[in-house]
Amino acid sequence: MCANHDSLPSPRSRRGFLFTLGLALSATAATLAGIPVIGYIFGPVRGRAGQAWVKLGAVAGFPEGQTRLATYENPFRVPWDGPTAKIACWVRRISGDQFQVFAINCAHLGCPVRWFPQSRLFMCPCHGGAYYEDGSRASGPPPRGLFEYEYEIREGQLWVRGGQLPTLAGPV
Amino acid sequence: MTKLTGTLRSIVGWLEVRTGLAETLTPAVTHPVPRRTASWWYVFGSATLALFALQIVTGICLALVYVPTADQAYQSLQYLNDQAAFGSYLRAIHFWGSNAMVLVMTLHMLQVFLWGAYKYPRELTWIAGVLLFLCTLGMAFTGQILRWDQDAYWGLGIGASIAGRAPVVGSTLVHVLLGGPIIAGRTLSRFFALHVFVIPGMLIALTGLHLWLVLRLGVNEWPMPGRVVDRETYRKRYEDEVQRDGVPFFPVAARKDMVGMAVVVLAALACAAIFGPNGPHGAPDPTITDASPRPDFYFLSLFALLALLPPWTETVILLVGMPLAIVLLLALPLFAGTGEKSWRRRPVSVVSVLLIVLVVTTLAALGVTSPWSPVMDAGTALATPVVYVQGRSPLELQGALVVQNKQCRNCHSLGGEGGARGPALDGVATRLTHDQLIRQVLQGGGNMPAYGKNLSPAEVNAVVAFLETLRPANQPPARAPVSPRPVPRQN
């Protein structure tokens, strides 16, 4: 076999030019194909700030001094979300127009906390976190109190800004 | 008959002339291996491969029916369980096969570690193996998500919450993981793609590399104490041993491999027939608040660890400790690539294995009972033991009622029933005095919430009166330590 065929051709020759062209074209093709792929995979990040006001129900439906479960539909739902389009939260009406709306997700690792009206505590079934009725941490592993929704009262209806899974990196 | 064999032979011959497969594969299949490695200890790798094949076949079958959309996945699993011919059994095989695969792969890894097989020149074989192990755990987690029940939904919540603890990129990670701002339809599609395309592709590629390296570098010889691995001499010594005293892999060593492969597959089939499929447990409706999510067994130890770690160490251990452990595992052959292979001369390795196995199994066992989790229905489901209400005064009985109604037993057991988050209340009066009981109830502490705001003074009195009766008749109540009498100063 001739040595010329084995080794890389000199970049100045016609073969060398073709070789370099081949490499450059392949790299361009890979980049052009890669950009939309990466953009597609990381697409959901763009909606990071996405929160929307959603209606939880009439203020009258939440008796003063009580904490009740309320549910709303994810404002960013897609038609095939099924039951997971629903989101639950705990609404505490302190008095009058004073509310606290808590995410159902434990601040420790996101499990659903349950309200116990008799002992006035939220308890988590996963790792035993407990919170007082105002959402502050009572005991267990949670590093902070329950995540709280921003709320507004418009024409007798309670609205919250929701649609995000609350984690330590980003609130509801 | 002879004619048939003749036809067959000519077909095989026709194929061989064109493909040359037999010519290429025969040396690979019959290559000599060290005599002692034709051992039962060496069957775990091929057994894992057999289980992987079983997972691929049953997985493809399940994908024929499973609908990977959030609104119908659950129903399609129920259809598989109740209506599809053999659907329930195939789901069961896939589930038990996955359990067996994680288990047998772990055994393979422990054997390889203890036999020093990761040392020179098989470093890359080990690294590919660790990546295979991680991919298999990835399959286990994503597979659990495809079950799309309450455990899957809240398991994702746990995964996202862990990702959300990462500084700076936490939020980005959560959204990339979930495919959107919250767990929903797009999340399931992501995990379906991972479970069915991405990770299996990686597994197949890595398995190819792993097997190629085993063929190229030879099966690790049986380690003998004192036979130290030296980069200069090892390969020649290995070749000499194999030439002098080797046996062909097929059929001498392969006999045991075949038995091992058949046994693990049969065990998975038997477990599937006896215990059936796992779930789905409860529709993935996040508004059902009485869910008590638990992971499958491979992640129970991690689940337990997250309950038992001091809270301030969690983020560090999750985000630094875990990746560091993986890097250590991958880099093991790079810093311990030579020296003794025999476990008899590697006490640190043996102790490490024992310690890791002990810790992981203990944590997993704790994960099964989850003593840190409150018993959520203790207030309504459990009765106060009769002995604790007999002969009590009205005030004490009132206290017993408060203990029951305020869900104290979610965390404290009484007569062996109730939570184990806090200490059992039987005998509490032998440990705490009247004043200490009041203080504990009002202010909490030691992981107990303060009940000062939730109990009226009358209720506190009643509870403490009741708690003071909780001691065995032959044991005295707790007494406050008497402060020592001051020693008169001598002038």
Q: Which domains does chain B have, with CATH numbers?
A: 29-369 (1.20.810.10), 378-467 (1.10.760.10)
Number of domains in chain A: 2
Tell the residue number behind the tokens 């040595």, with chain if given.
A3
pLDDT recorded at residue B123? 97
| Same domain (yes/no): A61, A130 | yes
pLDDT confidence of B419, banded at 50, 70, 90?
A: very high
Q: Are B291 and B373 in contact (CB under 8 A)?
A: no
Least confident of A21-35, A45-59, B216-230, B281-295: A45-59
| Same domain (yes/no): A22, A56 | no
> What's the pLDDT tens digit per position in B332-345?
999 999 999 999 99
pLDDT confidence of A6, banded at 50, 70, 90?
A: low
| Same domain (yes/no): A105, A143 | yes
Residue A172 inside a domain? The answer is no
**Count of positions (residues) in chain B:** 491
- The dihedrals phi and psi of A160, each to the nearest 5 degrees, come to -130, 155
Question: Which CATH number do you get for residue A126?
Answer: 2.102.10.10
Amino acid at A125: P
| Same domain (yes/no): A74, A96 | yes
Q: Are A87 and B134 in contact (CB under 8 A)?
A: no
CA distance B442 to chain A (A): 13
> What's the pLDDT tens digit per position in B149-203?
999 999 999 999 999 999 989 989 999 999 988 999 999 999 999 999 999 999 9
pLDDT confidence of B3, banded at 50, 70, 90?
A: confident
How many CB atoms are closer than 10 A to CB A158? 24
Token readout for B51 is 């289980």
Residue A167 inside a domain? The answer is no
Please, which residues 111-170 of chain A have a Cβ atom closer than 8 Å to chain B?
111-112, 114, 116, 118-121, 123, 125-128, 130, 132, 138-143, 163-165, 167-170
Whether residue A1 has pLDDT greater than 50: no
| Same domain (yes/no): A88, A152 | yes
| Same domain (yes/no): A107, A63 | yes
Q: Are B287 and A69 in contact (CB < 8 Å)?
A: yes
> What's the pLDDT tens digit per position in B447-482?
899 998 889 999 999 999 999 999 988 888 888 877
Q: Are B181 and A76 in contact (CB < 8 Å)?
A: yes
- Cβ neighbors of B288 (< 8 A, separation 6 or more) are B150, B282
Angle between helices B87-114 and B123-146 (to 10 degrees): 150
| Same domain (yes/no): A62, A115 | yes
Q: Are A132 and B453 in contact (CB < 8 Å)?
A: yes
Whether residue A2 has pLDDT greater than 50: no
Residue A128 inside a domain? The answer is yes
Strand partners, A151: A160
- Round to whole Å and give the CA distance between B276 and B147: 15
| Same domain (yes/no): A28, A109 | no
ipTM of the complex: 0.90
| Same domain (yes/no): A37, A56 | no
| Same domain (yes/no): A58, A77 | yes
Please indicate if any CB of chain A lies within 8 Å of the CB of B290: yes
| Same domain (yes/no): A37, A54 | no
> What's the pLDDT tens digit per position in B441-455?
999 888 899 998 889
Rounded alpha-carbon distances, angstroms, from residue B302 to A123, B133, B305: 21, 16, 5
> What's the pLDDT tens digit per position in B69-120?
999 999 999 999 999 999 999 999 999 999 999 999 999 999 999 999 999 9
Residue A168 inside a domain? The answer is no
- Round to whole Å and give the CA distance between B400 and B402: 5
Predicted TM-score (pTM) of this structure:
0.91
Residue A169 inside a domain? The answer is no
How many CB atoms are closer than 10 A to CB B42? 23
CB-nearest partner of A165 from B160, B166, B186: B160
Q: Collect all residues of chain A within an 8 Å Cβ-Cβ radius of residue B375.
A: none
- The dihedrals phi and psi of A71, each to the nearest 5 degrees, come to -130, 150
Closest CA relative to residue B338, chosen from B37, B108, B42, B123: B123
Note if the bond before A112 is cis, omega within 30 degrees. no
pLDDT confidence of B489, banded at 50, 70, 90?
A: low
Residue A171 inside a domain? The answer is no
Please indicate if any CB of chain A lies within 8 Å of the CB of B369: no
Residue A4 inside a domain? The answer is no
Please indicate if any CB of chain A lies within 8 Å of the CB of B309: yes
- Residues spanned by the domain of A157: 50-162
> Where does residue B99 rank: exposed (0-12), middle (13-18), buried (19+ CB within 10 A)?
middle
Please, which residues 4-33 of chain A have a Cβ atom closer than 8 Å to chain B?
none
End-to-end CA distance of chain A: 69
Rounded alpha-carbon distances, angstroms, from residue A49 to A159, B121, B164: 18, 51, 15
| Same domain (yes/no): A27, A88 | no
Residue A107 inside a domain? The answer is yes
Whether residue B491 has pLDDT greater than 90: no
Kindly state the average pLDDT of the residues A112-140: 93
Phi-psi region of A58 (alpha: psi -120 to 50; beta: other; left: phi over 0): beta
